[in-house]
Structures are given as C-alpha cells and as structure tokens.
Chain A
Amino acid sequence: MDATTILKNAFDKQNSNSTKLGAFHAENWNNFSAWGLPAIKHEEWKYTRIRNVFNDKMIVNNASGLDAAGVQQYLLPGQLAKNAIVFINGVFDASLSSIAEAEGTLVVKPLATAAEDEDAEFVKTNLGHSQRYHQDGINALNAAFAAGGVYIKVKKGKKVEHPVVIYHITDASVGFIFSQPRVLVNAEQASEVIILETYKKIGNDDSLTNEVIEICAAQDSIVNYIKIQDEGKGANHTGTTHIRQLAKCVTHAVTLTLSGNIVRNNLNMVMEAANSESHMYGLYLLNGETLADNHTIVDNQQPNCLSNELYKGIMDEKSTGVFNGKIFVRQDAQKTNAYQSNKNILIGDSASANTKPQLEIFADDVKCSHGCTIGKLDQDAMFYLKARGISEQNARALLLHAFAVDILDQIKDEEIRTYADQLISARLSYHF
C-alpha cells in the first residue's frame, strides 16, 4: 500500500464516526487531495524534502499500550507535570492527562466535544484559520484528522498558575508512526497563560508528527508559547504554530530545535489589532544530519504594533539550518515597528545554513529592520579562552552556550528555562 492509500483508509475510518467536524474534515481532505504533498519545487519547501518522509509503511493513529504509569516517566518534574495534556500518537488522551488548575480558570477537552458544546461557535470561527497562510497539503492533511485534537480555554481575567504542558508522545515501537496532533487555544480577554509543547518518541522505528496548533489571543491577554523539540534521530516533524491576536494583546513564542531528522516549524503571528506586541525567538542547535527549517510569518495589519524576532542557529557535522522570515506590513499598519534578525554559526565543515528575510511593506510610515549573518566561531575569542588554559572543547562550549543564552533568557518561566538550559548544556558539554 502506498502512503496515499494508507492515509485514505485512515480518513475513511475516522470520518464515519465524527459528526460536527465531519464537514471540516471532508473539506480539508479534498484540499489535501487537490494540493498533494509539497515538492521541493514549492518555494516554501525548497530545502525540505518532506515528501520523502511519507512512506508505504506508515501507521496512522495507532493506539499505544502506554498507560498512566508508562506516561508518568516522560513527564517533566515539578510544576511542569501539573497541567499535563497528553497526546499519544497524535491523539489527545483525556484519561492520561491531568489538570491541576481549577476549571474556573482552565478548560481542557477534546476538540470534537468543543465543536458541539457552548464553544462550538468559537471552534467554527477559528479552527483552520492557519490555512490562509499555508495552502499546502501538509496543513490540510492535519485538518482532515482534527477530531483527535484538544481544545484549551483560558477563562476571562484568569491567570493560569502553572504552565500548560502539552506532551506529544509517539510510540514507534511497532513501526513508523504518523501522528497528527491538533490544538486549538482560546485565551479569553485579559487571561494569561504559558504553554509548553514537548515531543517524545519511544521505540526504535522512525516517526512523523504533523501538527497544527492555533492560538487565539483576545483583548489584553498575555500568551507565552514555548516549543522544545529534542526527539532524537529518526523523528520527523512538520508543525504549524498559528497565533492570532484578535485584539490588543501581547504574544511571545520561543522555539527550540535540538534534534530530529527533518524538522519544519511554521510560526505565524497574525497581528489583527492596533497597539499589540509580538515576540518570536528561536534556537536551532543541530548535529548529525538534522535539517531544521523555521518559516516564520508576522502579519502586521493594524497601526502602532511592535514585532520583534530573533532566531539563532548552530550547525555542526552535516546538519542544515533554514530560516525564512516573512514580515507583512499591510497598508493600514502605519507606525509599525518590525525587527528581525537571524544569526548562524557553522561549526561542521559539511554543515550549512540558508537564511532568507522577506519583507512586504505596503504602509509608508513604518520602521522595519532585518539582518542575517552566517559565520564561524570568533577566532579571537577562542584564542583568548585558550590562552587562559581552557581546552578547545570547553572554549567552544563556553562560546556556543553564550551564543544560545540570548534565546534561553527569553523563556520567562524559570523551570522551563532551566529544563531547556539542561538540554542545551548537555548537548554542548557545557558544565560551568
């Protein structure tokens, strides 16, 4: 069976037992069928051969034998286990999830349920908004299987005490697992939340996770989003994080990619209201043959907004880093301040970096800047450290950690920052 037949069979099987999302599924399945999987001649997928990842051994939406005790070992310690939303092979599992936060603050339920209850209107209006920015088969394919997703609501005026941590566990112990998590977040007026997404592949086979998370930030809300990918060799990922600012608010995203085979991250900041603020930070720290491709879009639609973006990459061995940063400033978006920067360090002789800023500005009174660099480690700094007796390896670790720390510092939650720093320090053999 080829990949398309496998997907079709899976689609037929699930669509029959879904109701309210049925039309959404069908529409997107049709889109997927029409658009197909992006080839590298597709400008947005130039460096990322995602088609090759789809194969005739793919297993879709396979149940796993993991129970609560089995899942427990993959949760992060302390407060990061308090609000744990667990996906197994791309499907939200309410029984394995646990929410410490009061229901008056945080609501977590299956997306299929939200599509039928008092949140139905919200779901109908907002689900699938990201497709306006990604008209490709990858996004549509996820949407065709959205019923397995989760709906998260942060209630009006409430601040979620502990980070909401979404654990994506892929159990690839029986074969190549294709999972498609879907998340819809409703951050209501004046709410505040930290959302962390982490990914864990278990088992020896490879995997592909194709995710879409759509976050709607209402008036005066503060949304902090962190994505940490360290799934290891054999894990492929295509993910879209779509953040809509419905009214004046502040949104902040940090994306860390530390390992994997092919990793594609789309991040959209859709700034629909005046006087808003958005921040996008990213670090890709790569080795082996990992390819990490970060595509970001900032869409400034209204006046007096600030968007700030800094992505940094460290490429060792045969790894490849790709950064593509689009900034739209629409005609009404006067007095926009939009900043973008991408800095890369190549360590491996066979490593490569591709960086492309893309600014499309239709307003005339704006301040926009962009810059990108690709370089090696600063040799003067290396010599200075070595002249103090610090070994080549430690000197390199000190400098690379220092390079990465700008991004780490952007993670406001201390426990998440410490966790991320541990991962990065371990990778760099940084132990000071």
Chain B
Amino acid sequence: MLKIENLQARIEEKEILKGINLDIKPGEIHAIMGPNGSGKSTLASVLAGREDYEVTGGSVDFMGKDLLEMAPEDRAKEGLFLAFQYPVEIPGVSTTNFIKAAVNEKRKYQGLEALDAAQFLKIMKEKMKMVEINQSLLSRTLNEGFSGGEKKRNEIFQMAMLEPKLAILDETDSGLDIDALRIVANGVNQLRSKDNAFLVVTHYQRLLDYIVPDFVHVLYNGRIVRSGTKELALELEEKGYDFIKAEVEAANA
C-alpha cells in the first residue's frame, strides 16, 4: 500500500529525514517510535504533503501512485489521512460543515454523488457513537476552545468519517488522559480492517497497549535504526531510548 524508499527531507537548511525505508501492506499497523527530534513528526508531515518541508531524495509509492507528486488535498482524496499532533483551531468554520465539505469532496473525486443532509447526518450519528464524541462538540466551530483530548477525538472522528486507506496518527496519544486514550484507541480498533493500514507515530509505548502494532520501527536521527514486532516497544519502554542511541553510535564509531 505504502512503499517508502530512501526518503530524505529537510526544513530550510536542516536535514531531518536521511533515508527512510518502509513498506506497509493492507491490514497492517506499523508503529514508529523514537526520541524527541528523531524525525517522527517530519515523516508524518512529509507524507501528508506539508509544504514547509522539502523532499530532497527518495520516493513514496501509495497504491501505485507517486505520492510526492500529489497535492495534499489529492493525497487525502486518494485515501491518506493524517491525524494532527496539533489540530488547528479555525474560528468561524463549523465543524459539521467542514466535515461535510471534506466527505463530499472525496466522494466527488471518487465519482460518487454528494451526500444530502439526511444521509450525512445518518452516517455522522453512526460514527459519533463509534468514537464516543457528542453533538455539542460538533456544533461548535472547528477545534476552537476544544481541550487537548477533544481535539484528538475530533481527529479520530474525522478519520472515521473519511474512511482512509492509510491513516497516520501523529502522536495522537500526547496530552491524553487514560480515558481519552482508550476512546481514541477503541475508535482506531473499530476502523481497522484487512483493507486499510495505520502508521502510528508515538513517543511512548503506552498507546501500543491499546492499538497493538504488527511492526515497530525505531527512528533515530532521521533513519530507521531498528525494526521488530510489538516486543520491541516493550523493550524500549523498559530500557529507554538510550540503549538505541548507544547502539547506533557504537555502530558508527
């Protein structure tokens, strides 16, 4: 589904991604872990098409298409979704109108009819239940004055509405208490199917207790330095990132 080869990217003059390789197949959940500043969020942003980053090398194939050639909105319509680490507050834009616009643009792209108000409402109710979000939140303007947990739940709700092929969760667990974490994870687990995939970017192992990954990768200094199964996450939790750093430095020495 997603094949990243030797991906390199920088922001201004700073090299951040120094050659990432990753292969994600339908039905899989991959976790990317790593210390602060290792390039985790950059990877998520580059995949979603944020223009602040310049891709300096490598390729990304998304379901047979060159992802890096696509505008951010087309990536989304092709089925890529980024749950933001810091969802943006947009005063004056109604959450419901925003989601309706997004859903209908995607449908148009797929050659489907736009949903009318009743159909949209029906689907919305269903998904609201799934991610345990209530109407009062959706009646407000987009993320304005939402708590950290509310913003993250809104991200997961949008994901549920858009039904992406590949969802990238960028530190969705940061700033969440244990209840919110459980709700977010439940949402993801319910959306999981053999046809879609998830890339979960996180600093802590905690989220992976709830969203169990098939593969865990450790990102350090712009490269994936270790890959393994969910046990790797537990090892990191136990030993901290220092042992990875030490290993890498020993190898480079």
Given A384-B84, A432-B97: A402 and B90 interface contact (C-beta under 8 Å): yes
Assess whether B90 is in contact with A387, with CB atoms less than 8 Å apart. no
Assess whether A399 is in contact with B93, with CB atoms less than 8 Å apart. yes
Q: Which residues of B contact A386 (CB under 8 A)?
A: 49, 71-73, 76
B162 in the interface, Cβ–Cβ < 8 Å?
yes
Assess whether A383 is in contact with B51, with CB atoms less than 8 Å apart. yes
A394 in the interface, Cβ–Cβ < 8 Å?
yes
B98 in the interface, Cβ–Cβ < 8 Å?
yes
Expressed in whole angstroms, the minimum distance between the Cβ of B85 and any Cβ of chain A is 12
| Cα of A383 to Cα of B162 in the assembled complex, Å | 17
Which of B17-25, B102-110, B121-129, B183-191 interfaces with chain A?
A: B102-110
Q: Which residues of A contact B51 (CB under 8 A)?
A: 383
Among B73, B84, B92, B141, the residue within 8 A (CB) of A392 is B73
Q: Which residues of B contact A406 (CB under 8 A)?
A: 92
Residue of chain B at shortest CB distance from A406: B92
Assess whether A384 is in contact with B76, with CB atoms less than 8 Å apart. no
Contact pattern, A 383-415, Cβ under 8 Å of B = 1, otherwise 0: 111111111101100110111011000000000
Assess whether A387 is in contact with B49, with CB atoms less than 8 Å apart. yes
A381 in the interface, Cβ–Cβ < 8 Å?
yes
A349 in the interface, Cβ–Cβ < 8 Å?
no
Q: Which residues of B contact A384 (CB under 8 A)?
A: 84, 87-88, 90
B50 in the interface, Cβ–Cβ < 8 Å?
yes
Assess whether B88 is in contact with A405, with CB atoms less than 8 Å apart. no
Residue of chain B at shortest CB distance from A391: B73
B153 in the interface, Cβ–Cβ < 8 Å?
no
B158 in the interface, Cβ–Cβ < 8 Å?
yes
B178 in the interface, Cβ–Cβ < 8 Å?
no
Given A383-B50, A383-B72: A390 and B90 interface contact (C-beta under 8 Å): no
Expressed in whole angstroms, the minimum distance between the Cβ of B51 and any Cβ of chain A is 7
Q: Which residues of B contact A2 (CB under 8 A)?
A: none
Restricting to B70-102, which residues have a CB under 8 Å from any CB of A?
71-73, 75-77, 82, 84, 87-88, 90-93, 97-102
A117 in the interface, Cβ–Cβ < 8 Å?
no
Among B50, B97, B109, B141, the residue within 8 A (CB) of A389 is B109
Count how many chain A residues have C-beta atoms less than 8 Å from C-beta atoms of the other chain: 23
Contact pattern, B 14-54, Cβ under 8 Å of A = 1, otherwise 0: 00000000000000000000000000000000001111000
Restricting to A108-144, which residues have a CB under 8 Å from any CB of B?
none
Assess whether B76 is in contact with A387, with CB atoms less than 8 Å apart. yes
Expressed in whole angstroms, the minimum distance between the Cβ of A15 and any Cβ of chain B is 51
Assess whether A381 is in contact with B88, with CB atoms less than 8 Å apart. yes
Assess whether B101 is in contact with A398, with CB atoms less than 8 Å apart. yes
| Cα of A401 to Cα of B91 in the assembled complex, Å | 11
| Cα of A386 to Cα of B49 in the assembled complex, Å | 9
| Cα of A380 to Cα of B105 in the assembled complex, Å | 20
| Cα of A401 to Cα of B49 in the assembled complex, Å | 25
Number of residue pairs A-B, CB distance < 8 angstroms:
76
Given A401-B92, A406-B92: A389 and B87 interface contact (C-beta under 8 Å): no
Query: What DSSP secondary structure best describes chain A's contact surface?
Result: helix
Given A383-B51, A383-B72, A384-B87: A390 and B102 interface contact (C-beta under 8 Å): yes
Expressed in whole angstroms, the minimum distance between the Cβ of A39 and any Cβ of chain B is 40
Contact pattern, A 38-50, Cβ under 8 Å of B = 1, otherwise 0: 0000000000000
| Cα of A394 to Cα of B87 in the assembled complex, Å | 19
| Cα of A386 to Cα of B87 in the assembled complex, Å | 13
Q: Which residues of B contact A388 (CB under 8 A)?
A: 73, 76, 98-99, 102, 158, 162
Given A394-B101, A394-B105, A398-B101: A387 and B48 interface contact (C-beta under 8 Å): yes
Q: Which residues of B contact A392 (CB under 8 A)?
A: 71, 73
Contact pattern, A 346-389, Cβ under 8 Å of B = 1, otherwise 0: 00000000000000000000000000000000101101111111
| Cα of A394 to Cα of B72 in the assembled complex, Å | 14
Assess whether A390 is in contact with B92, with CB atoms less than 8 Å apart. no
Q: Which residues of A contact B49 (CB under 8 A)?
A: 386-387
Assess whether B72 is in contact with A403, with CB atoms less than 8 Å apart. no
Residue of chain A at shortest CB distance from B86: A380
Assess whether B93 is in contact with A402, with CB atoms less than 8 Å apart. yes
| Cα of A403 to Cα of B90 in the assembled complex, Å | 10
Assess whether A432 is in contact with B100, with CB atoms less than 8 Å apart. yes
Q: Which residues of A contact B92 (CB under 8 A)?
A: 401-403, 405-406
Contact pattern, B 210-244, Cβ under 8 Å of A = 1, otherwise 0: 00000000000000000000000000000000000
| Cα of A234 to Cα of B82 in the assembled complex, Å | 47
Residue of chain A at shortest CB distance from B82: A387
Among A380, A387, A389, A398, the residue within 8 A (CB) of B93 is A398
| Cα of A386 to Cα of B92 in the assembled complex, Å | 17
Expressed in whole angstroms, the minimum distance between the Cβ of A342 and any Cβ of chain B is 17
Assess whether A389 is in contact with B88, with CB atoms less than 8 Å apart. no
Q: Which residues of A contact B141 (CB under 8 A)?
A: 402
Expressed in whole angstroms, the minimum distance between the Cβ of B63 and any Cβ of chain A is 15
Expressed in whole angstroms, the minimum distance between the Cβ of A405 and any Cβ of chain B is 5
Expressed in whole angstroms, the minimum distance between the Cβ of A354 and any Cβ of chain B is 25
Q: Which residues of B contact A390 (CB under 8 A)?
A: 73, 98, 101-102, 105
Given A383-B72, A432-B100: A389 and B90 interface contact (C-beta under 8 Å): no
Q: Which residues of B contact A380 (CB under 8 A)?
A: 88
Residue of chain B at shortest CB distance from A401: B92
Expressed in whole angstroms, the minimum distance between the Cβ of A47 and any Cβ of chain B is 29
Of all A-B residue pairs in the complex, the 5 with the closest CB atoms, nearest first, are A402-B92, A389-B76, A388-B102, A384-B88, A386-B72
Write 15 A-B pairs (CB below 8 A) sorted by A numbering: A383-B72, A384-B90, A385-B98, A387-B48, A387-B49, A387-B84, A388-B73, A390-B105, A391-B73, A392-B71, A398-B101, A402-B91, A402-B92, A403-B92, A405-B92
10 more contacts with CB within 8 A, not counting A390-B105, A394-B101, A398-B101, are A378-B88, A383-B50, A383-B88, A386-B71, A387-B48, A387-B73, A387-B75, A398-B98, A401-B93, A403-B92
